[in-house]
Structure 1
Amino acid sequence: MTETILRVNNISKHYGKHQVLDKVSLEIDKGMIYGLIGVNGAGKSTLMRIIMGLTYSDGGEIELFGATDANGIQRARRKIGQSIETPALYPELTALDNMKVQAANAGVGNSDISNLLELMNLQDTGHKKVKNFSLGMRQRLSIAVTLVSNPEFLILDEPTNGLDPAGIIEIREIIKKLVNEKGLTVLISSHILGELSQVATNYGILHHGKIIQELSKTELLQKSQQYISLQVGEVEKALTILDKLNIAEYEVSDDDEIRIYSNLDQISKINRKLVLENIDVLGISMANQNLEDYFMDITGEK
């Protein structure tokens, strides 16, 4: 049976007259890497802060590790490691000393610190102070300190923000390793869908404070794969023809474009069959849409 780590139900939040979150609902199961995607200002950080109890919602409920009451949720938060907005690092301390401070704050020992620094490729930083670290090193250290308490659930807000391509890849591989080897569940936010698509298993698109779509990795990748773009005069009649041709992988877009994701080598056969059935083919061609284009389309951020 699948274990639900987090269930958010109809969470809302206002700052003055501005509604930051509008009845947001989502569910994260054990082992997921849930990618929360949205442009800056969409409400991603606010939602994460509410989950962690760093700010309060105006309405809605949270269930965390099965707990629904305030005391139970607060205890459950001890199972979470989080890096939201600015990482809580001490710039005058070394990586090792930052880890020791975090371990003391969490009430745990220092036995695993060396392994965590090695995992983050920070084992050779020695006496170098954090203020002299590169952005990528600080990002890796911010993840390391969230792991000191041996959490089961990790919340990371824009962990690759500002990193170069090599740094992004490094953070991405670390997150995958944490899930695969340590069994963590992860909630990670970004404003770049293409970047999240390389690591997440599930996605929620947050726009103007609302979750406008949730989809799995398979569903998301389907949005970017090559397809046959078909425009016809009679959509419903055309769909019956596709069914007769045993073509099942298709969808109809809002502007009545039929997108066919299978049988890509049969474009001529499909065209001929539609014409023989007296269906006007207004256009048929091969096409593909990248993930950023898809994100822009669905949010209207063009």
Structure 2
Amino acid sequence: MDGIYFGNATKKFDDITIFENSTFRVDKGVTLLISPNGSGKSTIIYLIMGNYRINSGEIYVNGYNPVNNHRLAFLNTSLMPENPVYFGSGTVREHISLFSRLKGVASSEIYGFLSYFKMEHIINSRISSLSMGEAQILYISCYLSGNYKLYIFDEPNSNLDQPNRRRFAEAVKLKQLNSNSIFLITSHINDELNQQANQILTITGNKVRAFYRDDINIAYALKFYDIKTVEGKLKGLKHFMVNDSIVIKNASIRDIIDVIPESNIKEITRIPPAMVEYYENQK
């Protein structure tokens, strides 16, 4: 089984629950995990990497438990952490040479991505002299290379300007279409990746929730911990009240959590068109 599977998984740190009884799959196309910093995105990545253990439930990466069978789980996986390390102590060229040998990818492909991102000028630079954006492009170029079944990127758009965020989103699209690879990408900002994702994961109300592209323009009924703080933030979204919920129409999950803090969302329920029409007639 290629990809990632969380089955009825719960993760806690002492008395703090990150998520509980959550089930989801990342097994095709591009999945975008979007939540504010500190919400639990990195915890999910550490669980996938096998650095953390879940309190209950199960996790599989490419059909293997990432803690007990880490080598087999990541045999066909490229994972770029939020804070990558560089190989060697000198230039970008040295890093690429060592990376390509250690990971078994062609250095020519890495150079090709650097050219695509218009970063050829950094090849002979010392890594210590790179800006944060230049270093991020170097790492992205390395971890996008190769022919893997599963690609995982933790906050790849950090430190990137808009043109390079757009280029990264397009590179992911082309890579996925040409290789039929699976992508999991975390992000805390609204960017071009949202348009490439066929599945969006969010962490709300101590649950990891999955929404598919076909669902994105369906209505959602939301319950909040403090509804009074929400009312003034919905002016740009079509919405109406139903009992103790707010129904939001013709909006993506991204649109919703861009204006409403996820920490205030208690529950999200997908509403099919027929039910939206019914609720509207009850107003």
Cα distance between partner residues in 2 of 1:146 and 1:256: 42
Q: Aligned match of 1:50 in 47, 50, 55? A: 47
Structure with higher Rg: it is 1
Match of 2:27 in 1: 29
Instruction: Report 1:98-137 matches (<5 A).
Output: 98-106=95-103, 110=107, 112-137=109-134
2:158 to 149, 158, 161: 161
Output the CA distance in 2 between the equivalents of 1:16 and 1:294: 27
* Compared CA separation, residues 120 and 177, structure 1 to 2 (3 A): farther
| Corresponding pairs, count | 250
Matches within 5 A, 1:246-257: 255=245
Partner amino acid, structure 2, of 1:207:
T
Deviation for aligned residue 1:135: 2.8
Confirm or deny: 8 A CA contact 1:82 1:156 kept in the other structure: yes
Q: Is the 8 A contact 2:48 2:66 kept in 1?
A: no
Aligned AA (1:78)? L
1:16–1:174 Cα change, 3 Å: same
Find the residue that maps to 1:54 and give its secondary structure.
coil
Flag the 1:196–1:131 CA change in 2: closer, same or farther, 3 A: same
Residue identity opposite 2:204 in structure 1:
H
Distance 1:180 1:217 in 2: 16
What is the root-mean-square deviation of aligned Cα atoms in Å? 3.5
Residue range with higher mean Cα deviation, 109-118 or 82-91? 109-118
Evaluate the alpha carbon distance shift between residue 258 and residue 100 of structure 1 in structure 2; reply closer, same or farther with a 3 A threshold.
closer
Normalized against structure 2, the TM-score is what?
A: 0.72
Q: Once the two structures are aligned, what percentage of the paired residues are identical?
A: 23
C-alpha offsets along residues 132-169 of structure 1, whole Å, 9 cap, x if unaligned? 22333222211222245532211111111233222321
1:299 counterpart residue number: 262
Q: Is the 8 A contact 1:5 1:64 kept in 2?
A: yes
In structure 1, list runs of 5 or more residues that go unmatched. Answer: 232-251, 262-287
Tell me the TM-score normalised to structure 1 length. Answer: 0.68
Match of 1:16 in 2: 14
Q: How does 1:115-264 map to 2 (within 5 A)?
A: 115-148=112-145, 150-193=147-190, 195-207=192-204, 209-211=206-208, 213-222=209-218, 255=245, 259=249
> Is 63-72 or 133-142 further displaced after alignment?
63-72
